[in-house]
Amino acid sequence: MERWLWPSGGAWLLVAARALPQLLRADLRLDRPLLAALVLLATLDWLCQRLLPPLAALAVVAAAGWISLSCLARQPRLPVATRAVLITGCDSGFGKEAAKKLDAMGFTVLATVLDLDSPGALELRACCSPHLKLLQMDLTKPADISHALEFTKAHTTSTGLWGLVNNAGVNDVVADAELSPVATFRTCMEVNFFGTLQLTKGLLPLLRHSSGRIVTVGSPAGDMPYPCLAAYGTSKAATVLLMDVFDCELLPWGVKVSVIQPGCFRTESVKNVGHWERRKQLLLANLPQELLQAYGKDYIEHLHGQFLRSLSLALPDLSPVVDAIIDALLAAQPRRRYYPGHGLGLMYFIHHYLPEGLRRRFLQTFFINPCLPRALWPGQPSRTPTQDAVQDPDPNLGPSPKEAQ
């Protein structure tokens, strides 16, 4: 029995000795991830004692301990100094909170908003330092983007532009792809993809000069087929792929590109139940009669209720996303992907490794589980292809310019 005790103690001593330099140069906080890692290491140690020869057990536990502590330790960060960063979509949510935090850290923050008199803009004026500059910008308007580029160049002549945070985005329709107007797909692409593309391309000369950072807020809906988020998800998928291309192409210039894929957080748009009710009513009012008969009003009401139920589970604390933005801007070696939020690891594991049927059932269980469309109810008369051929819902159903970000 004693011959099994030595590898265990030796492994833990070796882990501690190997990890000591990491602990001295990085912040390893006693939080739930660290406690979970220690529990898993202890369990692995117990198993290795019983299943492996002494030297093999020592090697496995030492390697696992070193990898775990290295991953959990906060990586060294660059000093803030006089770094300047442009953040889009600061009227509310992640953009507003990130602007406040970066300003408090000493960054020169250029914050774009849709409305200079919005509550979020007024809050930033009231609580931030004079170093924070507000700029009105609508990503659907090329003239606004051109003005933002000139504004950024004028305000970063002495410091240079260190970072761009692409945070602004839009999603205003929650419905099946067939029920969603093509105009909604176009609006999502205009804001989430084309606007982001034009702004990022315009700022690349400044970012290349500083070997700076590009941080983009994506969405798991761009990685997984979330029900009823086709317009939003496809635009985010295109944006994330674009950022991966930038990551490869800008590597020789020293520009690092990160994408943040947050879970569901309780931002102002998520909390605004009245907004989602108005969008549902607008969808119903403009839906072609053939589609309304095929799916039924009850179907759309059910989707709306399921969506609001999923939003009720949103996390109220936005700091994990803000912390990810800060790490992507200042870490010496930032990650290419950040996944702030609860349960994302399980979601991505299911998406990548489990059968398609289980993946679909998981998303329906935790997001939207559609009911049966009316035309498929038992006893309903069958429809011919000619009867089912309908035109696209009203193309004017897309969000108004004020709702575009």
d(CA 245, CA 58): 42
Give per-residue burial for 183-217: e unless 16+ CB within 10 Å, then b: bbbbbbbbbbbbbbbbbbebbbebbeebebbbbbb
Write down the pTM of the prediction.
0.80
> Which two tokens mark 61?
């536990």
Taking the alpha carbons at both ends of the chain, their separation in whole angstroms is 66
Question: Who contacts 231 (Cβ-Cβ below 8 Å, separation ≥6)?
Answer: 171, 173, 177, 180, 184, 185, 187, 188
Question: Backbone phi, then psi, for 370, in 5-degree steps?
Answer: -65, 150
Out of 226, 232, 295, 299, the active site residue is 232
Q: What pLDDT score does 7 carry? A: 45
Instruction: Name the strand (E) or helix (H) holding 304.
Output: helix 297-311
Q: How many residues does the chain have?
A: 405
Residue 232 catalytic? yes
Whose CA is closest to 402, among 178, 189, 141?
141
User: Can you tell me which residue has the tokens 């496995």?
Assistant: 60
Please answer whether residues 85 and 162 qualify as being in contact, where contact means their C-beta atoms are separated by less than 8 angstroms.
yes
Sign of the CA dihedral with 91 first, then 168, 217, and 170 last: positive
Q: What pLDDT score does 56 carry? A: 81
Q: What pLDDT score does 73 carry? A: 64
CATH topology of domain 84-367: Rossmann fold (3.40.50)
Please answer whether residues 350 and 358 qualify as being in contact, where contact means their C-beta atoms are separated by less than 8 angstroms.
yes
What's the gap between Cα 188 and its chain centre?
Answer: 15
Sign of the CA dihedral with 278 first, then 279, 285, and 291 last: negative
Question: Backbone phi, then psi, for 79, in 5-degree steps?
Answer: -70, 150
Question: Backbone phi, then psi, for 338, in 5-degree steps?
Answer: -125, 140
User: Can you tell me which residue has the tokens 């990890």?
Assistant: 19
Q: What pLDDT score does 70 carry? A: 67
User: Could you count the other beta carbons within 10 Å of the beta carbon of residue 171?
Assistant: 21
Instruction: Name the strand (E) or helix (H) holding 320.
Output: helix 319-330
Q: What pLDDT score does 332 carry? A: 93
Q: What is the pLDDT along the chain (405 residues), one digit of tens a residue?
A: 444 444 445 555 555 555 455 444 445 555 566 777 778 878 888 888 888 888 887 888 788 777 776 666 666 889 998 999 999 999 999 999 999 999 999 999 999 999 999 999 999 999 999 999 999 999 999 999 999 999 999 999 999 999 999 999 999 899 999 999 999 999 999 999 999 999 999 999 999 999 999 999 999 999 999 999 999 999 999 999 999 999 999 999 999 999 999 999 999 888 888 899 999 999 999 999 999 999 999 999 999 999 999 888 889 999 999 999 999 999 999 999 999 998 888 889 999 998 998 888 888 888 888 899 999 999 876 554 444 444 555 555 544 434 444
d(CA 340, CA 323): 9
